[in-house]
Structure 1
């Protein structure tokens, strides 16, 4: 029942009050309770201390008065007027509220109120003094009210108890002293309470700013949404701090990297425990140099998997706190890329062949129309023979059907552009590729040949010839593409393989050579660039034909 009431009250408060106000009220309440406890403790301590002091003072004065020889003589003589005069003199120099003298029967001999002289002393606390001759203190209500009273027996020179002295401090006076000592404390507590309220409000405002002005319910919803989005993404995602601690990870990342632990197990642990090498996740380039810039479509190898990865900084303009890395297997992208490349290649080949044979058919059709049947037959036989020779040469020289199809298409494309693609007599490709896939080799050849075509077309003094050497005769796969085009501008020669760098002014370029460089580097190969004579460029690539 109480639990239900508490939950209902908690829900009602959370719905009615903002987080900032709830925290401020909580802090103020806790601080107020602490200040109240401190005040009560101080009050009790002060009260006991003052009581002890007044008791001690009352007893000491009672004992001193009890040893007054003049007072003892007057009591023995029963000289009431002299006793009262002596007590009045003592009262004048004492801070006590009253001094009362009683005989051995407890009858007042002196009292601040002379009308009460001759009557029994009140309070019932004279027994120990009159019977046993002791001195002590007590808290009793007398004729003047509640008071702390110091008692002492009056003993004459014959060691006989002849009376009792009562020195008292009324509780009203003690309360005045308590108030005098307590007021500064109350003022200090009040000032602390005001400062605490101000501090609590400023603290809650700071916390709210750190929470991006969001309520806890909104933060909880945002976290659930973040988790759902993170797990629904097809790519693997890992967020890493600048110290290398894993901040967030989704299941796809664990599956891609072959990590058997659940996501929660990885949180707060070092990325190097689960990913090798982890330089890309730690903001380093392949050479180990610190590079905190954003990266896109980088080829990396982690846990034996070749991945295509993106890296984005976490933080604002003031502070960098880490990176978010998204990645997927290169094979996933290669599959889609291969399918698209094959479709594009087939489309390009069909377009070139369609254009080329349209012209041939137009020529043959014209010969037939004018009755030149022999010339028409010769043209058909020549074209068939030349095309078949090219197909036979390419298919016999290059065992890979993908590479053969690519080169056949590029040869036809060169003819369409008015260029000549020559194959070096040393060309051969008889072995199965070990260093990379046929699709990756096709990407390298395609980009190099396309660049050579464009550079050759730009040069007015070019002989319009591009030479290709592709051989696996040794333990290395050797690729050489030479043109006599415009060459490489000096302004971009040092950054030729950087993504986005290109000699072309149109947007969307600067990817081809970057991809070539990444694929060759991934296969532990080397790229050399030389100037052709009299003008042009020679790209030479050497790749160990072994499995990576």
Structure 2
């Protein structure tokens, strides 16, 4: 069973305290040895000088009467407290020593300068201090030398001999180290919500597996709107890199930034980002009653929006056919009634008028709109406008020449998307008024203009309708998704490298620019 976090911290802290104590002890030993060499060196030199100056030692060495020297050496060692006092004659033969076996043996002088008449203090083996002092006769000649030696105490002896306050400080340090370790471990455990290291690792691994397994994009934000986590889907949808960046530092659309930071609230926020239609949901993260961040989920609705647009187009075609059927039914009923009344001349005039009215719009559209799909769309929209009591007309001078499908095969479908959505939006705004559609060329691009006689768009909403991708503020709550039409039209223009703008000129006027595809 693995150790708990508290035990691991306790073990590490005790190890650190132990290392510190070893380091302090080592430093104390080094300082003690240095002090010992300095203090004991002076002391041993003083002892050796006193023995060398003793009249009995000088006389015995000068007369070579060595008998009294052992007694003199022992007495001096007992009085001085030196560990050993050695007396050697002029020939450097030991005459007095603590070990009787050394008497008569050569005295090892090493680097000593005492034989030449100068006192010397040294530390030959690192653990002892030795002082050599020459013994001079009345004429100043060297007749022998005296060596005094003191041994340094062992480490254990030094610790045992240490004063009580020092030992108490060591004990206090150990107690404080253990207490601090326990408090630190308790604090860390509380900050990690009681999770052990293995549990934290497992939690992180599960989080990574979950983020990788989620198809939707997931963003984690902290209280300062910095990205703390993101999965691959979110990075792909938003085009963001590593975590740590602030939302306001990224090159994002204002609408997208508002949703990510929480400035725009609500469920299933629709946002355009590049050529994608994204649906975002932002959920705040609350810990202990305080908001510490948020989690944002992103879904790519581009394909679904395209399918919805196609379904919406099919619905409009159905509505148009229904309107035409209703209109034709009413006309048939009128013709039948006139026939029963015997008004045959009136029937002829009525039929001629109906045919002339229908043919006039059809001839005008086919003559000025070269794209068959767009022309068919306008013919169908005219019937829908008639049912609503509105008028659909072409602007003066409008002309749309057909473009070779081999050069730009997607232009016709894109024009249908843009024109259809702009006309639908205009018919909703115009009511029983009029809607005017214009076409033209701007260099190597097609220009589409749609005006209506409606109330226009409030100046403060001119940019917002494209930023939000809705036709009006009320359209944000349109269950039918009508407001997404402007978003799709804008998406088509941006995908082609064009633009779509809105201005008020008696009513709303939308202008879309669709550049032609570059010839291969």
> TM-score normalised by the shorter chain: which range applies?
0.5 to 0.7
Q: Cα distance, 1:419 vs. partner?
A: 1.5
Give the corresponding residue for 1:460. Answer: none
Give the corresponding residue for 1:43. Answer: 29
Q: Is the 8 A contact 1:236 1:256 kept in 2?
A: no
1:66 is aligned to 2:52: yes
Q: Cα distance, 1:283 vs. partner?
A: 0.9
Give the corresponding residue for 1:220. Answer: 201
Give the corresponding residue for 1:283. Answer: 250
1:372 is aligned to 2:313: no
Measured in 2, the distance between the counterparts of 1:57 and 1:541 equals 106
Give the corresponding residue for 1:531. Answer: 505
5+ residue gaps, structure 1, are 1-11, 109-119, 140-146, 258-265, 272-278, 301-305, 458-462
Give the corresponding residue for 1:274. Answer: none
Give the corresponding residue for 2:322. Answer: 354
Q: Cα distance, 1:154 vs. partner?
A: 7.1
Q: Cα distance, 1:36 vs. partner?
A: 2.3
Q: Is the 8 A contact 2:95 2:103 kept in 1?
A: no
Give the corresponding residue for 1:428. Answer: 400
Q: Could you list the per-position Cα deviations for residues 123-147 of structure 1 after superposition, in whole angstroms to 9, with x for gaps in the alignment?
A: 64555689999899999xxxxxxx9
Q: How many residues align?
A: 470
Measured in 2, the distance between the counterparts of 1:164 and 1:410 equals 131
Measured in 2, the distance between the counterparts of 1:160 and 1:464 equals 140
Q: Could you list the per-position Cα deviations for residues 20-66 of structure 1 after superposition, in whole angstroms to 9, with x for gaps in the alignment?
A: 54244224324423532542464366357536743662353033223
Deviates more, 1:44-53 or 1:344-353: 44-53
Measured in 1, the distance between the counterparts of 2:155 and 2:4 equals 48
Measured in 1, the distance between the counterparts of 2:291 and 2:462 equals 35
Choose which of 398, 406, 414 in structure 1 pairs with 2:385.
Answer: 414
Q: Alpha carbon RMSD of aligned pairs, Å?
A: 6.3
Give the corresponding residue for 1:294. Answer: 260
Q: Is the 8 A contact 1:435 1:543 kept in 2?
A: no
Give the corresponding residue for 1:466. Answer: 435
Measured in 1, the distance between the counterparts of 2:219 and 2:318 equals 44
SS in structure 2 of the partner of residue 498 of structure 1 = helix
Q: Is the 8 A contact 2:414 2:492 kept in 1?
A: yes
Q: Cα distance, 1:371 vs. partner?
A: 8.1
Measured in 1, the distance between the counterparts of 2:351 and 2:180 equals 97
Q: Could you list the per-position Cα deviations for residues 276-309 of structure 1 after superposition, in whole angstroms to 9, with x for gaps in the alignment?
A: xxx999613579xx97973863343xxxxx5567
SS in structure 2 of the partner of residue 61 of structure 1 = helix
Give the corresponding residue for 1:275. Answer: none
Choose which of 451, 465, 476 in structure 2 pairs with 1:482.
Answer: 451
Measured in 1, the distance between the counterparts of 2:20 and 2:297 equals 49
Alpha-carbon distance change, 78 to 186 in structure 1, aligned in 2, over 3 angstroms: same
Q: Could you list the per-position Cα deviations for residues 135-169 of structure 1 after superposition, in whole angstroms to 9, with x for gaps in the alignment?
A: 99999xxxxxxx99979897765999999979787
Q: Could you list the per-position Cα deviations for residues 391-436 of structure 1 after superposition, in whole angstroms to 9, with x for gaps in the alignment?
A: 6765675455553454344333322322122234634342248597
Q: Is the 8 A contact 2:234 2:298 kept in 1?
A: no
1:345 is aligned to 2:313: yes
Measured in 2, the distance between the counterparts of 1:205 and 1:407 equals 76
Measured in 1, the distance between the counterparts of 2:173 and 2:179 equals 10
Q: Could you list the per-position Cα deviations for residues 150-198 of structure 1 after superposition, in whole angstroms to 9, with x for gaps in the alignment?
A: 7989776599999997978798899877656576665555555555556
Measured in 2, the distance between the counterparts of 1:357 and 1:237 equals 50
Alpha-carbon distance change, 495 to 252 in structure 1, aligned in 2, over 3 angstroms: closer
Give the corresponding residue for 2:417. Answer: 443
SS in structure 1 of the partner of residue 466 of structure 2 = coil
Measured in 2, the distance between the counterparts of 1:282 and 1:21 equals 43
Choose which of 421, 424, 428 in structure 2 pairs with 1:454.
Answer: 428
Q: Cα distance, 1:374 vs. partner?
A: 7.8
Q: Is the 8 A contact 2:456 2:508 kept in 1?
A: yes
Q: Could you list the per-position Cα deviations for residues 509-540 of structure 1 after superposition, in whole angstroms to 9, with x for gaps in the alignment?
A: 665545545544553346352413xxx23333
1:18 is aligned to 2:9: no
Q: Could you list the per-position Cα deviations for residues 88-122 of structure 1 after superposition, in whole angstroms to 9, with x for gaps in the alignment?
A: 9x94xx6x3799999999999xxxxxxxxxxx965
Measured in 2, the distance between the counterparts of 1:62 and 1:427 equals 126
Measured in 1, the distance between the counterparts of 2:155 and 2:434 equals 117
SS in structure 2 of the partner of residue 486 of structure 1 = coil
Question: 1:230-269 to 2 correspondence within 5 Å?
Answer: 230-232=211-213, 250=232
Alpha-carbon distance change, 374 to 401 in structure 1, aligned in 2, over 3 angstroms: farther
Q: Is the 8 A contact 1:106 1:121 kept in 2?
A: no
Q: Cα distance, 1:351 vs. partner?
A: 3.6
Alpha-carbon distance change, 338 to 55 in structure 1, aligned in 2, over 3 angstroms: closer
Q: Is the 8 A contact 1:137 1:151 kept in 2?
A: yes
Q: Cα distance, 1:381 vs. partner?
A: 9.2
Measured in 2, the distance between the counterparts of 1:521 and 1:436 equals 14
5+ residue gaps, structure 2, are 262-269
Alpha-carbon distance change, 58 to 213 in structure 1, aligned in 2, over 3 angstroms: same
Measured in 1, the distance between the counterparts of 2:105 and 2:121 equals 11
Measured in 2, the distance between the counterparts of 1:363 and 1:131 equals 143
Q: Is the 8 A contact 1:98 1:168 kept in 2?
A: yes
Measured in 1, the distance between the counterparts of 2:314 and 2:381 equals 11
